[in-house]
A and B are shown apart, each in its own frame.
Chain A
Amino acid sequence: MRKVFTQTLIELAQQDDRILLLTGDLGFMALEPFADKFPDRFFNVGVAEQNMVGLATGLAEAGFIPFVYSIVTFATLRPYEFFRNGPVLHHLPVRLIGIGGGFEYGSAGPTHHGLEDVGVMRLQPGLTVITPADPPQARTAFQETWDLPGPIYYRLSKDDTLLVPELAGRFELGKADLIAGGPDLLFITMGNITAEVMAAARLLAEQGIRSSVLAVSTVSPAPVRELVEALGRFSLAISVEAHYKTGGLGSLVAETIAENGLNCRLVRCGVGKSQEGLSGSQNYLYRVHGLDIQSLAETARQALAANSVPGETASTGTGINGEVRTF
């Protein structure tokens, strides 16, 4: 999504001179087109994420819309208190761009694995948290949200080739998208692992298990209506996220079930154990943590078997935002 971010930002910046781009010395082979086009509106502030967010606070108070760019962990965790006391506390339109959620920087090692960003960011009141599943959806998300009055965190994939065709680039702030409508169980997912979840659903379909998939592209404000509607129709939901199990999407789903008194069992798929210093490819680390396609399908099979309440036999959903695939 790095390329689509830069391209969309260039288009927006041509329309609105309030847009600035700050980077903490990252974005090689990604940000150069913006820097070339707008050299006076691009600032490499150096390896100094705290200062970068502080700068963005001062810039936004004066009427600018600063986009602040780094890898997920450095964008969110290092300057977290600056973000809390700055853009969040002052309700300023700073846009924090985190690249590489989950294990996208897998071989770079645990310092580069983005596993708690959604959890800590969704704690902040008034902060919009956006988790696109693929570049076309990311593009729509930027176009729809860049000029919101308050702060935004975008969790982006560094993969420019991801594609979830069922989404067709749709994004609506605060909404979730039902992109598969099977009756046996409900997957709920966010961000770059959505493609794996769709693949797991296809694998399950070959075995006669038909899944629904709800893609959450806005974590905050939470898509409560879509979550309640979907969860209300199933006795088994499986949340899937490239993130720690605690605090992120799975926790949001659990809160929604509890607060709405829904009769739905939840299985959370995410990173649930210590990283133990392991590095490796994203696919390898997905296997380690049960997030690869085969493991997700197996988890679903076991959960269905263990679920004492038989699977809901509701008819295939018609979806909320358009066409729905049936597995």
Chain B
Amino acid sequence: MTKLAISGRQVRQIILEQSKRANVGHIGSALSIADIVAALYDSVLSIKQPDDPNRDRFILSKGHAALAVYAALSLKGWLAEGQIETYCGNESFLGVHPEHQLKGIDFSTGSLGQGLSIAAGAALAARLKKSDRRIFTLMSDAECNEGSVWEAVMFAAHHHLSNLVAILDLNGQQALGYTEQVISLSPMADRWRAFGWDVHEVNGHDTESLTETIAGLDTRQGPPHILIAHTTFGKGVSYMESQIKWHYLPMDDQQYRQALMEIGREN
């Protein structure tokens, strides 16, 4: 596999370090998207500078996993020196959910079911401005419980927003249970296909496959695109993987040491 300048392992290490330092949860959700975020920031998103008006846009619709994006912003060098250490601190823009006043965050999110609508508006804006920029949004599977998601799904398909790329983190979990037990979402790919989207099922932990799939999308004409990214909640830390409780829990010292060891910490 091609070695990325920003790797899922690096993103994971920052997620663990900052979650432990701040003593907060949402670790499993962030680990679930670590490889997707690494692929996006390493080689997918076309962003010369975070304030370039013609940059690709990225909206983390599952805002509770923002720490993974902060990790990428830090690795890109877009955060100030030491800023990542302010995660969940006072006078910080690095809250659990992302805030647009932070350089590199295009839109504030945190309330599920809103990101895709904003992304569709951004995609429509790009088309109206005859820009070839693309709009990416990373969603959770459980946020598809929100009816507003499907309003946006219909709009984007109706208007052939080919410059819109959604990535759905299909880890099968939500706050209080497994998605199939809470509200069944299966068959996810068929549902999006039925609404007129160009659907690709991918391994959400294979950065090379993610990158290649996105590179092959026609973002100039045709339907909007969705990558159904099959992922493992808590990926990389054995005791967190597919465990509901790691949606909320912080790590104790022993758990932290084990987690760092398992992801292959680099000093």
Question: Using a CB–CB distance below 8 Å, which chain A residues touch chain B?
Answer: 20, 40, 43, 45-46, 48, 50-51, 53-64, 81-82, 85-86, 89-90
With A45-B155, A50-B151 already in contact, the answer to whether A62 and B122 are too (CB < 8 A) is: yes
Interface-lining segment among B88-96, B112-120, B189-197: B112-120
Q: How far is the CB of B53 from chain A (nearest CB, A)?
A: 8
B148 to A58, Cβ gap below 8 A?
Answer: no
With A62-B125, A85-B114 already in contact, the answer to whether A55 and B108 are too (CB < 8 A) is: no
In the complex, A61→B154 CA distance in Å? 22
- Give the chain A neighbours of B118 by CB distance below 8 A: 54-55, 57-58, 61, 86
A50 to B148, Cβ gap below 8 A?
Answer: yes
* A contact face: mostly helix, strand, loop, or mixed: helix
Q: Taking CB as reference atom, which chain B residue is nearest A53? A: B117
B residues 111-149 touching A (CB-CB < 8 Å): 111, 113-114, 116-126, 128-129, 135, 147-148
Q: Does B201 contact A (CB under 8 A)?
A: no
Report 20 cross-chain contacts, Cβ distance below 8 Å, ordered by A residue: A46-B151, A46-B154, A50-B114, A51-B152, A51-B155, A54-B114, A54-B117, A56-B121, A57-B117, A58-B117, A58-B120, A59-B121, A60-B121, A61-B107, A62-B122, A64-B125, A82-B114, A82-B117, A86-B114, A90-B107
- Give the chain B neighbours of A86 by CB distance below 8 A: 114, 118
Q: How far is the CB of B108 from chain A (nearest CB, A)?
A: 5
B108 to A89, Cβ gap below 8 A?
Answer: yes
- Give the chain B neighbours of A54 by CB distance below 8 A: 114, 116-118, 120-121, 148, 152
Choose among B121, B147, B154 the residue that contacts A57 (Cβ–Cβ < 8 A).
Answer: B121
- Give the chain A neighbours of B154 by CB distance below 8 A: 46, 48
List 10 tightest A-B contacts by C-beta distance, closest first.
Answer: A54-B117, A58-B121, A62-B125, A58-B122, A51-B151, A55-B121, A48-B151, A50-B148, A58-B118, A59-B121
Choose among A40, A43, A56, A62 the residue that contacts B129 (Cβ–Cβ < 8 A).
Answer: A62
A58 to B114, Cβ gap below 8 A?
Answer: no
- Give the chain A neighbours of B151 by CB distance below 8 A: 46, 48, 50-51
Q: Does B100 contact A (CB under 8 A)?
A: yes
- Give the chain B neighbours of A45 by CB distance below 8 A: 155
B122 to A90, Cβ gap below 8 A?
Answer: no
A62 to B126, Cβ gap below 8 A?
Answer: yes
In the complex, A89→B106 CA distance in Å? 12
- Give the chain A neighbours of B109 by CB distance below 8 A: 85
A58 to B124, Cβ gap below 8 A?
Answer: yes
Choose among A55, A81, A85 the residue that contacts B120 (Cβ–Cβ < 8 A).
Answer: A55
Q: Does B110 contact A (CB under 8 A)?
A: yes
- Give the chain A neighbours of B152 by CB distance below 8 A: 51, 54-55
Q: Taking CB as reference atom, which chain B residue is nearest A22? A: B121
Q: Taking CB as reference atom, which chain A residue is nearest B106? A: A61
Q: How far is the CB of A44 from chain B (nearest CB, A)?
A: 10
- Give the chain A neighbours of B110 by CB distance below 8 A: 85
Q: Which of B108, B109, B110, B114 has the most CB of A within 10 A?
A: B114
Q: Taking CB as reference atom, which chain A residue is nearest B133? A: A62
Q: Taking CB as reference atom, which chain A residue is nearest B109? A: A85
- Give the chain A neighbours of B119 by CB distance below 8 A: 58
With A48-B151, A85-B108, A90-B100 already in contact, the answer to whether A59 and B114 are too (CB < 8 A) is: no
B123 to A58, Cβ gap below 8 A?
Answer: yes
B122 to A51, Cβ gap below 8 A?
Answer: no
In the complex, A40→B55 CA distance in Å? 24
Q: Which of A51, A61, A62, A85 has the most CB of B within 10 A?
A: A51
- Give the chain A neighbours of B147 by CB distance below 8 A: 50
B120 to A51, Cβ gap below 8 A?
Answer: yes
- Give the chain A neighbours of B124 by CB distance below 8 A: 43, 55, 58-59
Q: How far is the CB of B148 from chain A (nearest CB, A)?
A: 4
B117 to A46, Cβ gap below 8 A?
Answer: no
Choose among B106, B107, B114, B125 the residue that contacts A63 (Cβ–Cβ < 8 A).
Answer: B125
Choose among B108, B111, B122, B155 the residue that contacts A59 (Cβ–Cβ < 8 A).
Answer: B122
Choose among B117, B128, B129 the residue that contacts A51 (Cβ–Cβ < 8 A).
Answer: B117
In the complex, A57→B113 CA distance in Å? 14
Q: How far is the CB of B63 from chain A (nearest CB, A)?
A: 10
In the complex, A62→B128 CA distance in Å? 10
In the complex, A174→B140 CA distance in Å? 43
In the complex, A86→B152 CA distance in Å? 15
Besides A40-B128, A61-B121, A62-B126, 10 new A-B residue pairs in contact (Cβ under 8 A), listed by A number: A48-B148, A48-B154, A50-B151, A54-B118, A57-B118, A58-B122, A58-B135, A61-B118, A62-B129, A64-B125
